[in-house]
A and B are shown apart, each in its own frame.
Chain A
Amino acid sequence: MTTITSAPGTRRAGSQLFLAVVTLAFLAPVAWAVISAFKPPTDIIQRPLDLFSAGFTLENYQHMFEDVPIGQGFLNTAIVLVCKGSITMIGAPLAAYGFAKYRFPGRNLIFAAVLVTLMLPVIVLIIPLLLEMKQLDWVNTYQALILPGSVDAFAIFWMRQVITAVPDEMLEAGRIDGCGEFGLFWRIVMPVIRPGLAGLGVLTIMNIYNDFVWPVVAASSTKMATLQVVLSTLAQNISGHRISADYATVTGELLAASSVALIPLLVLFIALQKHFINGILAGSVKG
């Protein structure tokens, strides 16, 4: 690290230039979408680069709020987020703790199940899972949106890395103090891995918030539609076969809806970015 700081000025300028270009490339599409949402629909399509000289309008937002149950979408997403998120945030570290700090017959086999779950393409399970929901009479219910995948395999894998790093002496000290096994987890491990948990939290929120494939299938009624389902309904209108006559209008609405959907997450992310990044740093495979 010190070698970089001692680098000559030209190299520092080169780094800055490179990073500036990358940053621009990474931010531009999002900025384009957010700004374009304020342009008249036909201009979005026909003059995509004309960001500021085109007229300013709230028309897209107005149409979007009229046509799209985005409030309902937010509400459903919030409910799923809270329930599924809580299950992940407790269930995953708990399982990870079991894997990281205990040796028991079947451990490797069960951990292999975690890896298998990681490797299963979502799309593979869509139809059988849907039929299962039918059997359970769960179609169009919150439990269908919440329970499948609630103890997330990636989260377990991730937390296992974090918890492995907790020194065993700490747990032994806890045992001597008379802590039960669950007490060890709850009162010693959980507080210690707080940075990792924070990272997991942001990651979990992001995953659930942006989840798309399963909710589209599992929630067919409008009253159950999550935010992403609402967005996809709009997108389908455009990308379907473009027969629908109002291509430009719907594109405008979609950009407006996307902006509205993006902003809470972006704000949350910027507010918590330190925790998130540190959390990922805590959980990643190192070396």
Chain B
Amino acid sequence: MRHISINRLAILVACALAAGSLAACGPDITADNPSASGTASEQIDPNKLQAPDASSPSGEITIWDRSGDLFEVFDAVIAKFNEKYPDIVVHHEAVDISAKLQNTLITGTDVPDGVFLDDAYVAGYVEHLWDLSDVLSPYLNDIAKQKVDVNTVGGGIYGVPYDLDPGLLFYNTVAIEAAGIDPASIQTYDDLLAAAKKYQQYRPSAKPIHLEQGAWLGQLQLEMYANQLSTSLADTSGNLRLNTPEYLKILTWLDEVQKQGLGTRAEYLTPSDIGALEAQDEVFYPWAIWFDFAPQQQLPKTSGEWRAMQLPAWDAGGARGGAMGGSSFILPKAGKNSGLAWLFYEFLMFDQVGYTAVYGPNAVYPGGINTSIPAYKLAADPSKPLFQPVEAMGNQDLWTIAVEAGQQIPGGAPIPPWWDGAVEYLGNNVQKMLDGAMTPQQVLDQSAADIQANLIDRQ
């Protein structure tokens, strides 16, 4: 190494820089012609997907999902799909979507025809995606408004809504009833605070309310609270609307829970969290419906003690539903058989055989998949449960509770493409507030300024 002169190295770097300034080579970044597939005709907006018109469509599609239980559920539905469309071959792949989707869309090579994606990420990809408003139009009136709204960007709809994830208040009924608390008395968040106090008097070691310690999930939960108040981080035209009385109200409440020592700060279902839940120290869990998985699999000790009710309202008589998370299916324009992929998702979501197979009893979930409810209202019928009462929740009829909570969810706004990036500011600052290092107003001021400067202004 000692033979290398620093000057030589500098020359080399200079050469590279000089070559760069020639700017004559390097991959072409100006060409961008999405291969128009589907059956777009002259008069139709080439960005809007049209359903295939062949009577017996055929071809191959590639579908990406994340690995895990949902993958197995969707995998099992493919056979049912093929009963209806025998000539469509579905290649179903478990993929590290967060690592791969963007790169695949940018290179445009081997782009899948359909991808399972968190709603929070859809807006970030719209330039690569089919506008689905034409194909979805027959169903739009029957899809939960919040789910349509979060997928709507600039008038186009970019995801086939999959699940609606109403927030619910999970509570350990055995524990709180032993403390003399009547669950029905919890109507507002103030009531919840009072109940938590009462429980702590009964059980001094308790910190009864879950306070999320993960920045990302914490921000997701914050949006659930905000959704109840009919607001969200961005308005319909994508402008930031964080510094509002609504957000201040929510943060002040969270701050209060922490200051009064009524909250268990832990990351969602990490061992620490599970320990507190199992010890009956943490007995209130305002969370999306998918928390119900915990009593079913992760809380053997307190399994059976858990129940769910609609979220408390922020003000007496206010909305008791708010969405937390959720996913949709996106169809990239560069997919080879986007039309056929639409047929697949249409079958999964809007065909009774399809959605029954997805949500109803199956090999993976003998009682049906109960970690979310369909966004499609005809499927989410209170009187026709798709999944069975949950044994780990004292055979409570979760279906009815969730569907009714879902009906109360106010409409939303598209989730902005910078939502994920905002976690670095808002999500982190909420945690700092819970650490006692910031006041609610500081969180709003600071986060709003940072999000505007670092994310929105750099779009």
Say what secondary structure dominates the interface of chain A.
Answer: helix
Are B96 and A246 within 8 A (Cβ)? no
CA–CA, A219 and B147, complex, Å: 32
Are A242 and B269 within 8 A (Cβ)? yes
Complex interface: chain B residues within 8 A of A217 (CB): 99-100, 103
Within 8 A of B (CB), among A88-124: 108-109, 111-113, 115-116
Query: Which of B5, B68, B300 has the most chain A CB within a 10 Å cutoff?
Result: B68
Are B274 and A46 within 8 A (Cβ)? yes
CA–CA, A92 and B198, complex, Å: 72
Say yes or no: is A125 at the interface (Cβ < 8 Å to chain B).
Answer: no
Residue-wise, chain B 40-76 has the 8 Å CB interface mask toward A (1 for contact) of: 0000000000000000000000100011111110000
CA–CA, A133 and B217, complex, Å: 36
Say yes or no: is A260 at the interface (Cβ < 8 Å to chain B).
Answer: no
Say yes or no: is A68 at the interface (Cβ < 8 Å to chain B).
Answer: yes
Are A131 and B107 within 8 A (Cβ)? yes
Say yes or no: is A284 at the interface (Cβ < 8 Å to chain B).
Answer: no
From residue A260, how far is it (CB to closest CB) to chain B in Å?
A: 16
Residue-wise, chain B 1-44 has the 8 Å CB interface mask toward A (1 for contact) of: 10111001101110000000000001111000000000000000
Say yes or no: is B95 at the interface (Cβ < 8 Å to chain A).
Answer: yes
Residue of B nearest to A232 (CB): B96
Are B12 and A113 within 8 A (Cβ)? yes
Number of contacts between A and B (CB, 8 Å)? 134
Are B96 and A229 within 8 A (Cβ)? yes
- Decide yes or no: A244 and B110 within 8 Å by CB, A42-B298, A222-B93, A236-B96 being known contacts: no
From residue A84, how far is it (CB to closest CB) to chain B in Å?
A: 21
Are B271 and A67 within 8 A (Cβ)? no
Are B8 and A109 within 8 A (Cβ)? yes
Query: Which of A42, A116, A128, A220 has the most chain B CB within a 10 Å cutoff?
Result: A220
CA–CA, A44 and B220, complex, Å: 28
CA–CA, A169 and B27, complex, Å: 48
Say yes or no: is A135 at the interface (Cβ < 8 Å to chain B).
Answer: yes
Residue of B nearest to A241 (CB): B216
CA–CA, A202 and B274, complex, Å: 43
Say yes or no: is B104 at the interface (Cβ < 8 Å to chain A).
Answer: yes
CA–CA, A109 and B6, complex, Å: 10
Are B4 and A108 within 8 A (Cβ)? yes
- Decide yes or no: A240 and B98 within 8 Å by CB, A131-B107, A245-B290 being known contacts: yes
Are A243 and B107 within 8 A (Cβ)? no
Are B68 and A220 within 8 A (Cβ)? no
Say yes or no: is B437 at the interface (Cβ < 8 Å to chain A).
Answer: no
Complex interface: chain B residues within 8 A of A109 (CB): 8, 11-12
Within 8 A of A (CB), among B70-86: 70-72
Are A220 and B104 within 8 A (Cβ)? yes
Are A115 and B9 within 8 A (Cβ)? yes
Residue of A nearest to B278 (CB): A46
Complex interface: chain A residues within 8 A of B371 (CB): 245
Please, how many residues of chain A have a CB less than 8 angstroms from a CB on the other chain?
Answer: 46
Say yes or no: is A273 at the interface (Cβ < 8 Å to chain B).
Answer: no
From residue A164, how far is it (CB to closest CB) to chain B in Å?
A: 10
- Decide yes or no: A236 and B68 within 8 Å by CB, A134-B109, A139-B109, A140-B109 being known contacts: no
Are A216 and B99 within 8 A (Cβ)? yes
Are A45 and B271 within 8 A (Cβ)? yes
User: Per a CB cutoff under 8 Å, which of A115, A127, A139, A248 touches B297?
Assistant: A248
Say yes or no: is B183 at the interface (Cβ < 8 Å to chain A).
Answer: no
Complex interface: chain A residues within 8 A of B261 (CB): none
CA–CA, A217 and B99, complex, Å: 7
Complex interface: chain A residues within 8 A of B13 (CB): 116
CA–CA, A101 and B11, complex, Å: 24
CA–CA, A281 and B26, complex, Å: 41
Please, how many residues of chain B have a CB less than 8 angstroms from a CB on the other chain?
Answer: 53
From residue A67, how far is it (CB to closest CB) to chain B in Å?
A: 6
Say yes or no: is A137 at the interface (Cβ < 8 Å to chain B).
Answer: yes
Residue of B nearest to A213 (CB): B99
Residue-wise, chain A 30-63 has the 8 Å CB interface mask toward B (1 for contact) of: 0000000000001001100000000000000000
Are A130 and B267 within 8 A (Cβ)? no
CA–CA, A282 and B26, complex, Å: 40
CA–CA, A84 and B300, complex, Å: 49
Residue-wise, chain B 305-347 has the 8 Å CB interface mask toward A (1 for contact) of: 0000000000000000000010000000000000000000000
User: Per a CB cutoff under 8 Å, which of A111, A233, A242, A249 touches B94?
Assistant: A233
Complex interface: chain B residues within 8 A of A133 (CB): 107, 109
Complex interface: chain A residues within 8 A of B72 (CB): 67
Within 8 A of B (CB), among A129-170: 130-135, 137, 139-140
From residue A113, how far is it (CB to closest CB) to chain B in Å?
A: 6
CA–CA, A245 and B4, complex, Å: 55
- Decide yes or no: A246 and B12 within 8 Å by CB, A130-B107, A139-B109, A216-B100 being known contacts: no
Are B109 and A137 within 8 A (Cβ)? yes
Are B325 and A220 within 8 A (Cβ)? no
Complex interface: chain A residues within 8 A of B194 (CB): none
Are B3 and A131 within 8 A (Cβ)? no
Say yes or no: is B202 at the interface (Cβ < 8 Å to chain A).
Answer: no
CA–CA, A136 and B9, complex, Å: 30
Say yes or no: is A80 at the interface (Cβ < 8 Å to chain B).
Answer: no
Are B99 and A232 within 8 A (Cβ)? yes
Complex interface: chain A residues within 8 A of B66 (CB): 236-237, 240, 244
Say yes or no: is A234 at the interface (Cβ < 8 Å to chain B).
Answer: yes
Are A243 and B290 within 8 A (Cβ)? yes
CA–CA, A108 and B2, complex, Å: 11
Complex interface: chain A residues within 8 A of B267 (CB): 242
Say yes or no: is A278 at the interface (Cβ < 8 Å to chain B).
Answer: no
Are B27 and A135 within 8 A (Cβ)? yes
Are A108 and B67 within 8 A (Cβ)? no
- Decide yes or no: A233 and B67 within 8 Å by CB, A46-B271, A134-B109 being known contacts: yes
- Decide yes or no: A112 and B9 within 8 Å by CB, A233-B67, A233-B96 being known contacts: yes
User: Per a CB cutoff under 8 Å, which of A45, A46, A111, A220 touches B95?
Assistant: A220
CA–CA, A131 and B104, complex, Å: 10
CA–CA, A131 and B28, complex, Å: 8
User: Per a CB cutoff under 8 Å, which of B62, B96, B107, B293 touches A134?
Assistant: B107
Complex interface: chain B residues within 8 A of A246 (CB): 68-69, 293, 297
Are A112 and B103 within 8 A (Cβ)? no
Q: List 9 A-B contacts (CB under 8 A).
A: A42-B298, A108-B4, A109-B8, A137-B109, A222-B95, A237-B68, A243-B325, A246-B68, A250-B67
Known: A221-B110, A233-B95, A246-B68. 14 other contacts (CB 8 A): A109-B8, A115-B1, A130-B103, A139-B109, A217-B100, A220-B95, A222-B95, A233-B96, A243-B118, A243-B290, A244-B70, A245-B68, A249-B69, A285-B1
Q: Can you list the 7 inter-chain pairs with the closest CB atoms, starting with the nearest?
A: A139-B109, A131-B27, A245-B293, A134-B107, A233-B96, A236-B96, A222-B93
